[in-house]
Structure 1
Amino acid sequence: MSAEPNPKDAISESLTVDRSTLRRASIAGMVGTTLENYDFVIYGTAAALVFNELFFPNLNPAIGVLASFATYGVGFVARPLGGLFFSHFGDRIGRKWVLVATLFLMGTATFVIGLLPTYGSVGVLAPVLLTLCRLLQGFGAGAEQAGGIVLLTESAPQNKRGRYASLVYVGAALGSVLGALVWVLVQLMPDDRVQSIGWRLVFLSSVLVTIAAYIFRRRLRESPVFEEAKSRGKIVERQKTPIGVAFRFGWRGIGRVFLLNIGAIAHSYFYQVFVANYIKNDLNMPGDVVPPMLLIGGVFAMGAAVSAGVLSDRFGRRPIYIVICAVLMLMPYPAFLLLHTQNVIIIGIVVVLGFIFAVEGTVGVQSAFLPELFGSRYRYAGVALGRETSAAVGGFGPFIAQGLLAATGSFVPVVIYLMVLIGIGLVTAIYAPETRGRDLLSEHDARHGDPAPTSH
């Protein structure tokens, strides 16, 4: 184990921590991903519980659920597009501008979903409008988490990057808790009221989260690493694009991020979304047991995110990520067996473990690991491109899992699918470089011999 960095908390060889900037960045990173995950959780829960009846009523139940999950998945298709668009500005203008813009885009799209007409009112136009809103959600989310973890990694003390950057995912877990809590409250209504007005209240409530997030973000400062890089002329020249520079010089890092995250994202949404549908529609359990489980899982997940980040500061990014991936390799088959007990407490334990390891454990390590893989000129673009392209594939996990289940009548193909994807992440982590403590002002990727972009 390498020696601890200087206790003066150097960000790099030449920068020191501004505690006020770090505190603001921590809060801003948390509240933004709170909104993002709030949006995704309330949508995923609606897709599992009500959207098949409200927007796809003419389809048989199994196909209706598939269609609901398909609209859920298209949000992930838009994520890399959002990452491409916003990372251009994030690496040139700064992280703060992007984080404010994406906040309003996601919040507006979610609020509008609560106003949409259903299939019974306007026919096929209803699912079309729903899909459009979902695309806008995903477009904004494509730069949100990448911006948050880059900002916090660049603002944190060198020996505590994992701890502080993981706060972004504490915010994500808090979003899960709030989303589940709102659904718990709405499901106190009679079923017909949930179908008519209750689900709308869930989505309209996003305006409160958006306003709260903006209040914290409006006073956000730029990261000291970005400001220092800018003063040294280490930002991408106007005649070039950060995306182009990232593809040319950071393609190894982009590939690593894609492979590290594809299995993590699939497992995350398996426990957040697919399990809810499975216990309701395949095990015929009451739908109102789902939100409390997601709420409890989110509470445990907040501690899991920080714990994973702290452990990665102590023992390194690679070993902790390898351990988490190995655990996830072993979980899917026992998880299905335990779900089939139809015991609420046992199923709750499965959901909690899923949230600890799959939903927040993986990203708790990734929070500092991914930004540290890239050079200073294209860090935002590299993280966003790698992470969101993998999300576009792994985010269809609930749809693919439901399709495999419908086609075979067995959960075994779903288990194999999940094991293969997390296996890819495990092998990638084994061969990835250790990045803990690297100088973030370096223009080189975190691998000896990778070229750096030349200055002009």
Structure 2
Amino acid sequence: MSSPSAPGATTGAATTPSSAAEDRANLRSARWGGLVGTALEQYDFVIYGTASALVFNSVFFPDLSPAVGYLGSFGAYAVGFLARPLGGLFFSRFGDRLGRKWVLVTTLYLMGIATFLIGLLPTYETIGFFAPLLLVLLRCLQGFGAGAEMAGGTVLLTEAAPPGRRGYTASLVWVGASGGTALGAVVWLAVQQLPEDAMLSYGWRLVFLSSIVVTAMAYLLRRKLQDSHVFTETAKEKAKEDAADARPSPIKDVWTNSRRNVLRVFLMVAGVSLNSYTYQVFMGSYLVSNVDVDKAVFTRALLIGAVCGMGAAVFFGRLSDRLGRRPAYTVAALGMMILPVPAFAMLNTGSPVLITIVIILGFIFAAEGSVSAQAAFLPEIFGSRYRYAGVTMGRELASMVGGAGPLVCSALITWASGSWIPVAVLMIATVAVSLAVTLRTPETRDRDLYSEADAA
């Protein structure tokens, strides 16, 4: 398909003053919708992860030993990531046909409703086994909605951005994600001011019930989003072929023609995802159960780390525009490979200052830096006809690795009688694989997004 003259393409065609003004307005709307909308939606996901590390082992798995209770809590957490690929596959069909905005608004409702209902759940003491069962079911619904969220945001912003600024623009999704983490940490810090029995009784519920306000605010921003020119132009061609029954579904299309790149994205993201959730979720439980640190220490560190992560997201997004996608990711990956051993040594001191430094560095390199370097990279790998499906399949299959990370790390700690060495080895090894695959991936900076062909 030929490349139309439109913003975001690399053809350099002229636009009229009115269309240029409209494009700038749409880009501002996309940036704010992607940043703030993702921040508010990420809030839903983050408060669950924090609850898994600090509360749910006592509320939903009270009859188990502390170690096994954490395994149950992180098992319920991981289940949501098993649902993410299913949600991603389901919504990718609509994202490549009905538009990115439609998916982003729909998934917002799914996550918001599921999170709100978790706040209403009876505990194990009230209904026994059915309490964790209902928790798992709602976690699945939350994960199903989250499965298309990050891919949708990064694809929309990558397509909407002008050449030379795609990395920065797409990284705003991760600025928003870090902002959502910070917001969740603030709410948890407020709840932790309650006495312990009050927090375990109703305090944690207030955190989840607050999601109804967050969801409403996110919707007000998301409803103003406009789909990119890349999508609208490609959709016209798709409509013609669909009418002639000439085009398969996006999922079948991407799997038939680009399964190599789906696998590539999976491997590029898997190590990043595991390291990210290890710092954001597992280390909280490790500090409480193995180092005997007060829960509020981790929550405060999470807040400071998330704020620093917002700056790191912008830095690595801009770095990917300046140096290229691969060099920017390499910097982040090397940081992730160096960090685990000194990180656990610092955590074991129990020093709030050193713990905060570890979480800050975890956000800079793992939770935000690496994913921001990949923000425009992943959409640029795929052609326009199945970009959403390709990014979603690769990313969300990899998210299963990340989501299982806290569970696997907790099991390794138990198996190793409290030693953190197997966890550090796992973190380093998975990043090494992601880096090796990235270095074998073609550089995609500023490629023509209207092209139906993959970058490689």
Matches within 5 A, 1:203-282: 203-233=208-238, 237=242, 239=245, 240-282=248-290
Is 2:377 aligned against 1:379? no
1:151 touches 1:223 (CA, 8 Å); kept in 2? yes
User: 1:190 maps to which residue?
Assistant: 195
Is 2:74 aligned against 1:69? yes
User: 1:199 maps to which residue?
Assistant: 204
User: 1:12 maps to which residue?
Assistant: 10
CA 1:175–1:263: 2 relative to 1, 3 Å = same
2:299 to 287, 291, 299: 291
Identity of aligned residues (%): 54
User: 2:175 maps to which residue?
Assistant: 170
Is 2:428 aligned against 1:419? yes
Is 2:144 aligned against 1:143? no
Cα separation, 1, equivalents of 2:290 and 2:260: 42
Cα separation, 2, equivalents of 1:263 and 1:335: 17
Deviation at 1:30, TM superposition (A): 1.6
Cα separation, 1, equivalents of 2:115 and 2:316: 30
Deviation at 1:358, TM superposition (A): 0.4
2:346 to 338, 341, 354: 338
SS at match of 1:75: helix
Deviation at 1:14, TM superposition (A): 6.3
User: 2:441 maps to which residue?
Assistant: 432
Cα separation, 1, equivalents of 2:401 and 2:241: 29
| RMSD (Å) for aligned C-alpha atoms | 1.4
Matches within 5 A, 1:48-67: 48-67=53-72
Cα separation, 2, equivalents of 1:354 and 1:315: 23
SS at match of 1:166: helix
Q: Which letter does structure 1 place at the counterpart of 2:80?
A: G
User: 1:31 maps to which residue?
Assistant: 36
Deviation digits for residues 49-82 of structure 1 (CA, Å, limit 9, x no counterpart): 1111110011111000110001111111000000
Cα separation, 2, equivalents of 1:343 and 1:213: 37
Matches within 5 A, 1:282-431: 282-409=290-417, 410-431=419-440
User: 2:157 maps to which residue?
Assistant: 152
Deviation at 1:35, TM superposition (A): 2.9
Cα separation, 2, equivalents of 1:237 and 1:366: 32
Q: Which letter does structure 1 place at the counterpart of 2:441?
A: A
Deviation at 1:339, TM superposition (A): 0.7
Cα separation, 1, equivalents of 2:391 and 2:238: 21
Q: Which letter does structure 2 place at the counterpart of 1:82?
A: G
Structure 2 unaligned residues grouped into runs of 5+: 1-5
CA 1:34–1:407: 2 relative to 1, 3 Å = same
CA 1:274–1:231: 2 relative to 1, 3 Å = same
Q: Which letter does structure 1 place at the counterpart of 2:431?
A: I
Deviation at 1:177, TM superposition (A): 0.3
TM-score (norm 1): 0.94
Mean CA deviation greater in 218-227 or 305-314:
218-227
SS at match of 1:250: helix
User: How many residue pairs end up in the alignment?
Assistant: 440
Cα separation, 1, equivalents of 2:220 and 2:355: 38
Deviation at 1:291, TM superposition (A): 1.1
Deviation at 1:31, TM superposition (A): 2.7
Deviation at 1:40, TM superposition (A): 2.0
CA 1:50–1:225: 2 relative to 1, 3 Å = same
Cα separation, 1, equivalents of 2:35 and 2:241: 28
1:263 touches 1:424 (CA, 8 Å); kept in 2? yes
1:236 touches 1:377 (CA, 8 Å); kept in 2? no
User: 2:97 maps to which residue?
Assistant: 92
Deviation at 1:316, TM superposition (A): 0.1
2:158 touches 2:167 (CA, 8 Å); kept in 1? yes
Deviation digits for residues 228-260 of structure 1 (CA, Å, limit 9, x no counterpart): 112344887364210000101121221111001
1:177 touches 1:298 (CA, 8 Å); kept in 2? yes
Deviation digits for residues 128-155 of structure 1 (CA, Å, limit 9, x no counterpart): 0000111011100000110000000000
SS at match of 1:159: coil
1:235 touches 1:377 (CA, 8 Å); kept in 2? no
Cα separation, 2, equivalents of 1:60 and 1:407: 15
Q: Which letter does structure 1 place at the counterpart of 2:446?
A: G
TM-score (norm 2): 0.94
